[in-house]
Amino acid sequence: MLSLENQVRQYLITEKNIDEKTIVSLDGRFGKLPFFGVEVIFADEPDVRYFYTEIDGKIVPVHVTLKPKGYNYKHK
């Protein structure tokens, strides 16, 4: 789980150009097996949870907290 957390952190910083200071938390989560994901909370969107996982060697976003229609997600 720690390895996946580190992979997601590197993905956000290097590929998405997100400043590490804006990442409030990064926590590994178990879903229905075989799903392992990482929940990410950003400082500029503290009430939204983003979920990432690794598929075929790549980090991909898999889910985001649903907000009202028209909400502009900052990290999607």
Q: Where are the alpha helices (DSSP H) in 1-76?
A: 2-10
- Residue 62, pLDDT > 80, answer yes
Going edge to edge, which strands form the sheet with 45-55?
A: 23-30, 36-42, 45-55, 58-64
Task: Find the Cα–Cα–Cα–Cα dihedral 36, 1, 44, 12, rounded to 10°.
Answer: -90
How many of the other CB atoms lie within 10 Å of CB of 1?
A: 12
What are the tens digits of pLDDT across the range 39-61? Answer: 999 999 999 999 999 999 999 99
Q: What is the pTM of this model?
A: 0.88
Kindly give, in sequence order, each residue whose CB lies less than 8 Å from that of residue 61, ignoring residues fewer than 6 positions away. Answer: 50, 51, 52, 76
